[in-house]
Amino acid sequence: MNLQNPKKFKLLIDQAHEVALNVLRPISRKYDKAEHAYPKELDMLASVVDGMNAGAAVNKRGDNDESNKNGVNMSTALSIVEMCYGDTGLLLSMPRQGLGNSAIAAVANDEQLQRFHGIWAVMAITEPGCGSDSAAIRTTAIKDGDDYILNGEKIFVTSGERADAVVVWATLDKKLGRAAIKSFVVPKGTPGMKIERLEHKLGIKASDTAAISFIDCRIPAANLLGHAEIDVAKGFAGVMETFDNTRPLVAAMAIGCSKASLERIKEIFKDQLDPEYNTPFLQTSNIAAQIYRMEAEWESARLVMLKAAWMADNRKPNSREASIAKAKAGRIANEITLKCVELAASIGYNEAELLEKWARDSKILDIFEGTQQIQQLIIARRELGKSSSELK
């Protein structure tokens, strides 16, 4: 594994970094205070961030090249790190960069890829009483001629009000369990789809989070992503492939957010730090030792995130590595951002600094796309070779 950022992405990373510093940071506090207000400044960035597509496709269509690749998963992850160094909530508010796009990229057929190209799609999975256990989904999709009729409720839909379409997870047959769960693209404004409310949140306030109901919501059968057949043998694996692409990206968000806090605390305590790292660890001050330890944890989280993204680009099964990256980065981001608030004392707790905001924003990064506990359960299953029914 090459531990350096691929040279071909240097320009992309530099551009994302400049956007973070010159566009996102200056409006970060403004939209933290104006929850649910759409960040109009992001419209001018739409064409720029189109190249930073948060929907990372599996390299599988017509590509038989077996050589090492650093493709869209890697470039997206690296650009997300820099953008979240600016502001995580604003990154999540970028037009056409929703996690629903990654579902389309991962499981859609060629016709669907072309038809849904350029839309802003978000993901609707979580339901009341159904959080991290995605297999417990109760929203139904009943076939009716050339259509499906959706009924159910989704909560915590990131950018649910603003996006062009919602990728809804629903079951074709509750009796068949996980295998019957499919994802459907529901365009905004479809009759029967209703935004019930917007949530008031601890962090990422720039990003709207919606609760959406579906009552006899009719959509074309062609909007079912992937295959309509229920493959009991494959079970839930097909629809869950989406997470193998998105979890490294959420890990990248955590890396970027914690990077901001870590750099700021190093700036505050620069007189106590050795920039060359020549001072033996046991001879440093307590504050310096804590900062060095956070740096080491941050770097290890960054590397496992890069590994998971690289595996996705090279069509290697990465479910285990994606969960490791998400679990490690999510936990480390929480620990680093909160510790930086603590070390900075009154400076860290004051709104004159962004340290307190980064601490609030980081919490969601350990929760959505599967909580810390769920990630550790997935990792344990992969390590022990157990199925979900064998290890709960």
Residues designated catalytic:
369
CA dihedral 202→203→208→213, nearest 10 degrees, is -40
Residue spans of beta strands (DSSP E) within 179-223: 181-187, 193-198, 209-220
Burial class (CB within 10 angstroms; exposed 0-12, middle 13-18, buried 19+) of 376: middle
Cβ atoms within 10 Å of 147's Cβ, excluding its own: 16
Q: What is the DSSP letter of 127?
A: B
Answer whether 95's CB lies under 8 Å from 42's CB.
yes
Contact (Cβ atoms closer than 8 angstroms) between residue 188 and residue 166: yes
CA-wise closest residue to 92 among 240, 228, 253, 215: 253
With tokens 């229920």, the residue in question is 230
Cα within 13 Å of Cα(329), Cβ side = 35
User: Which helix (H) or strand (E) covers residue 304, if one does?
Assistant: helix 286-313
**Measuring CA to CA, which residue among 80, 7, 392 is closest to residue 248?**
80
